[in-house]
């Protein structure tokens, strides 16, 4: 399954040179909790609303003077669209992240997969399995 079908292709982004204030305003306007940070048009990091609170507000930094590139999570985990959903979930768990930018063959951003997207996908699969099982008599299951 193509991960772009599970995730979203409309991703909120900013350049790493933008201010944290601009990031916060953009997040509020778009109703999102994270922004993929770009450098040279390619994903370089991610900035979440929690990052702003922990790395900017708590530290007393000026959001008008602090640039996104200085406070983003730079150790970015990405996936290509051909990665299977279960593998994407395993990678997210291993790195303890909730968001995976999806990149193309040249490293360009083409989408964003979130933990919520995967939960929805696997939930639908469980619903389908439950429907199939419901059509079998109980004796098929040792009952």
Question: Mean pLDDT for the chain?
Answer: 89
**pLDDT score of 123:** 73
Would you state the structure tokens that stand for residue 33, as one six-digit string?
A: 């909790």
> pLDDT at position 139, please?
66
pLDDT at 2: 75
Which residues of the chain have a pLDDT value below 50?
Answer: none
- Tell me the pTM: 0.81
Tokens of 139: 């004796």
The neighbouring-strand residues paired with 123 are none
Question: What is the rounded CA–CA span in Å between residue 77 and residue 88?
Answer: 10
Fold of 3-141: CBS-domain (3.10.580)
Query: What is the rounded distance in angstroms from the CA atom of residue 101 to the CA atom of residue 118?
Result: 13
Q: Provide the token pair at 102.
A: 């999806």
Q: What is the model's pLDDT at position 16?
A: 96
């Amino acid at each position: 399954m193509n991960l772009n079908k599970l995730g979203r292709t409309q991703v909120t982004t900013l350049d790493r040179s933008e201010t944290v204030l601009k990031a916060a305003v953009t997040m509020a306007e778009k109703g999102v909790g994270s922004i993929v940070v770009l450098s040279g048009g390619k994903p370089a990091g991610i900035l979440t609303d929690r990052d702003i609170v922990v790395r900017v507000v708590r530290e007393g930094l000026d959001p008008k003077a602090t640039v996104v590139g200085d406070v983003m999570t730079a150790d970015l985990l990405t996936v290509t669209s051909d990665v299977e959903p279960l593998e994407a979930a395993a990678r997210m768990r291993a790195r303890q992240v909730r968001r995976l930018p999806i990149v193309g063959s040249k490293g360009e951003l083409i989408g964003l997969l979130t933990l919520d997207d995967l939960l929805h996908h696997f939930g639908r699969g469980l619903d389908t399995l439950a429907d199939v099982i419901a059509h079998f008599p109980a004796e098929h299951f040792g009952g």
